[in-house]
Amino acid sequence: MRKENFRNIAIIAHVDHGKTTLVDGMLKQSGTFKAHQEVDDRVMDSMDLEKERGITITAKNTAIQYKDVKINIMDTPGHADFGGEVERSLNLVDGALLLVDASEGPLPQTRFVLKKAFEKDLPIILVINKIDRADARIDEVVNEVYDLFFDLDATEEQIEFPILYTHAKKGVAHNELGDESEDLKPLFEMILSKISGPIADDNHVPQFLVTNLDYDSYVGQVAIGRLNNGILEMNKSYALCGKDKTTYEHKFSALYSFKGLNKIKVNKLEAGDIIALAGIENITIGDTISSNEDPKPLPRIQIDEPTVAMLFYVNNSPFAGKEGTYLTTRHINERLQKEILSNVSLQVLPTEKVDVFEVRGRGELQMAVLIETMRREGYEFMVSKPHVITHEENGKVMEPMEIVFLDIPEDKVGVITEKLSNRKGKMTNLQNHGHGRVSMEFSIPSRGLIGFRSQFLTDTQGAGIMNKLFDGFAPWFGRIPQRNTGALVADRKGKVTTYACVGMADRGELFINVGTEVYDGMVIGERNKSDDLVVNITREKKLSNMRSSGSDNTVTLRPPRQLSLDQSIEFIAEDELVEVTPLSLRLRKMELDQNKRLSQRKKEKYAKS
């Protein structure tokens, strides 16, 4: 039977098209906040990293009441690296709002999230947002969305989607452009009329699929998901259907329903609602809670496989333990195991070495967010350069491919095409719109994009836009050149001096300030030639009692290039690591001893010949 008192919807879009801002408006206009309550912008982006980067990283749910209907809303990330969050969220809902920027139109991630929605056979409401933009091209964007639906083989019912026009910051939605609407009422009405309530039966055996995990310091682990069928009550026993076995006689310590941004404690939950519960130990995403007498598990959540892996090392540098709180193998292993409980698109595998862990995920950005989160929690460790995950098919090694979508100034086409061609990229489309900017598409191995973003921004002088989309697997393309410059490497422990930095001005660009502590084997800059150069960056000027005119003139040093975490991960070569501590980011060679590095290089040289 269909429950008309609920609507479960997801908001899906490309990054930065206004999903979280629209949810803000819906929360404010549905009476969730008090009349004089002060509310932050993008209130759903609650993590510090989300606020800093201006993107949504984890899918979150909220609930609003409109008329007599409870509308559960899932706010999903717009980045392909967090695609696991989108796939998981779509298991909870019966329809989706597809948000598209009135100027930019449907972008790569729009295609990704829409494809996932079609796989679940969800009805779509198209919302054209940012209609106030000076460069809005609304009719063209609507046509582009139709083209995208045809491209993805949408059914006739899906192609006949309703369209709304919104200005999310102002909190206004229009059925027709220029109508008298002054609020989001048309959006609420459209959700009620076009998206059906969930099919659920209160009298059926209880079936609750866990799609997200949260942690509460008071009640412990909290499982979030949709109650597909049946009723859950306090003080009753239920079965937990895990991946390999079913355990019985579980009781809840708390049951929650959502209202606005809060969880409300209740004693009984009805089918069709998105709910949360606590009190069951060792519960994981994909498990089902069902009847104690006759458990009926639901199909487990299927997530796309990871494409990128990084090695996490226990920090063994000379400065280990000075800045971090958690730095042992046990600490790092426990933290990574805790992460995969709530992040289903990550995998952690042991390696031959006890103090090294292989972490697999969807992309460099997802990895960078995990590393930054651990760093802020007080962890100290080292990470390697990302590498792609290959697999064998009919005796051939297959590697992941990406489609890269570029929007760049006209005069940068040559240099970008050359760079991507060197990385085995193949141009598949080029469009010149006649206003100074060119749209290009390339098919390229995922390996070829590792470390490319910073080069791309430099080559386009910050004016280029790059998006990428996973595009299956293809046979191994052979060696792809990565960094074509060497590194400046410190040869001893000490403090960086101004005198030594002056001598480095014509050798390359430094990454560290004067006065920074360094150690033997630490990477201190980028050399302007292809080989590494070992230097004494702690050298001081020899003082004498003789003076000569002009020798003590003030020297102006070029300021060092300070690398962020993302830039550090992109910069390092195969034989280098990023040392991550709560206070510092340092680049270093895997082998700190200069003589051992030389002997290793000789062995590799003779092995090739």
Q: What is the pLDDT of residue 35?
A: 44
Confidence of residue 583 (pLDDT cuts 50, 70, 90): very high
The larger pLDDT score, comparing residue 223 to residue 2, is at 223
Mark which of 266, 291, 316 sits at the end of a domain.
291
Contact at 8 Å (CB) between 318 and 372?
Answer: no
* Domain end point (choices 367, 388, 409): 388
Q: What pLDDT, on the 0 to 100 scale, is given for residue 89?
A: 78
What pLDDT is stored for residue 31 in this prediction?
Answer: 64
CA distance 32 to 119: 33
**160 and 212 in one domain?**
no
CATH number of the structural domain spanning residue 22:
3.40.50.300
Cα separation, 193 vs 197, whole angstroms: 10
Q: pLDDT confidence of 519, banded at 50, 70, 90?
A: very high
425: Cβ contacts below 8 Å, ≥ 6 apart? 404, 442, 443, 444, 448
Instruction: Quote the domain boundaries for residue 355.
Output: 308-388
Examine the domain organization and report whether 339 and 415 are in the same domain.
Answer: no
Judged against a pLDDT cut of 90, whether residue 462 lies above it is answered with: no
Domain CATH number, residue 318: 3.30.70.870
Residues 331, 449: one domain?
no
pLDDT in tens, 29-41: 766 554 444 444 4
The total domain count for the chain is 5
- pLDDT tens, 402-447? 888 888 888 889 999 998 998 899 999 888 877 788 888 899 998 8
Number of Cα atoms under 13 Å in the Cβ half of residue 419: 20
- pLDDT, one tens digit per residue, over 39-72 is 444 444 444 555 555 555 556 678 888 888 888 8
State whether 365 and 395 are in the same domain.
no
* Shared-domain flag, residues 73 and 147: yes
Does residue 78 lie in a domain region?
yes
For the cut 50, the answer to whether the pLDDT of residue 212 exceeds it is yes
- The tokens describing 250, both together, are 């579980």
Return the minimum-mean-pLDDT range out of 21-25, 156-160, 302-306: 302-306
Same domain for 154 and 40?
A: yes
Query: Across all residues in the chain, what is the average pLDDT?
Result: 84
Alpha-carbon dihedral of residues 413, 416, 422, 428, nearest 10 degrees? Answer: -60
pLDDT at 177: 85
468 shares its domain with 521: no
335 domain-assigned: yes
Task: Determine the pLDDT at residue 202.
Answer: 85
Whole-angstrom Cα distance, residue 93 to residue 585?
A: 41
State how far the alpha carbon of 126 is from the alpha carbons of 30, 123, 160, 196, 421, in Å: 21, 10, 10, 16, 37
Same domain, 36 and 109: yes
* Domain assignment of residue 178, yes or no: yes
Asked if 264 and 371 sit in the same domain, the reply is no
Domain final residue pick, 291, 318, 345: 291
* Residue 526 included in any domain: yes
Asked if 443 contacts 423 with a C-beta cutoff of 8 angstroms, the reply is no
* pLDDT interval class at 585 (50, 70, 90): very high
64 forms beta bridges with 71
Can you give the CATH number for the domain in which 443 is found? 3.30.70.240
Instruction: Examine the pLDDT at 490 and tell me if it is beyond 50.
Output: yes
Maximum distance among all Cα pairs of the chain, rounded to whole angstroms: 98
Residues 456 and 365 in one domain: no
Whether 449 maps to a domain, the answer reads yes
Interior/surface letters 152-171, b for 16+ CB within 10 angstroms, e for the rest: eebeeebeebebbbbbbeeb
pLDDT for 439: 85
Of the pLDDT bands very low, low, confident and very high (cuts 50, 70, 90), residue 180 is confident
579: pLDDT strictly greater than 90: yes
Q: Which pLDDT score, from 0 to 100, does residue 339 have?
A: 85
Cα-Cα-Cα-Cα dihedral sign, residues 486, 491, 496, 498? negative
Q: What is the pLDDT of residue 495?
A: 93
On whether residue 165 sits in a domain, the answer given is: yes
CA nearest to 416, candidates 442, 434, 436, 435: 442
Place 81 in a pLDDT band, splitting at 50, 70 and 90.
Answer: low
Query: Is 126 domain-assigned?
Result: yes
Average pLDDT (386-400) is: 89
In a domain, 367, yes or no: yes
Confidence of residue 554 (pLDDT cuts 50, 70, 90): low
pLDDT, mean of residues 206-214: 85
- What pLDDT shows up at residue 119? 84
Q: Give me the mean pLDDT over the 112-119 stretch.
A: 82
Give yes or no: residues 384 and 401 share one domain.
Answer: no
> Average pLDDT in the 540-558 region?
68
- Residue 377: which pLDDT band, with cuts at 50, 70 and 90? very high
pLDDT (0 to 100) of residue 384: 93
Residues 280 and 315 in one domain: no
Q: What sign for the dihedral angle of Cα 567, 570, 571, 577?
A: positive
- Nearest alpha carbon to residue 416 among 450, 436, 441: 441
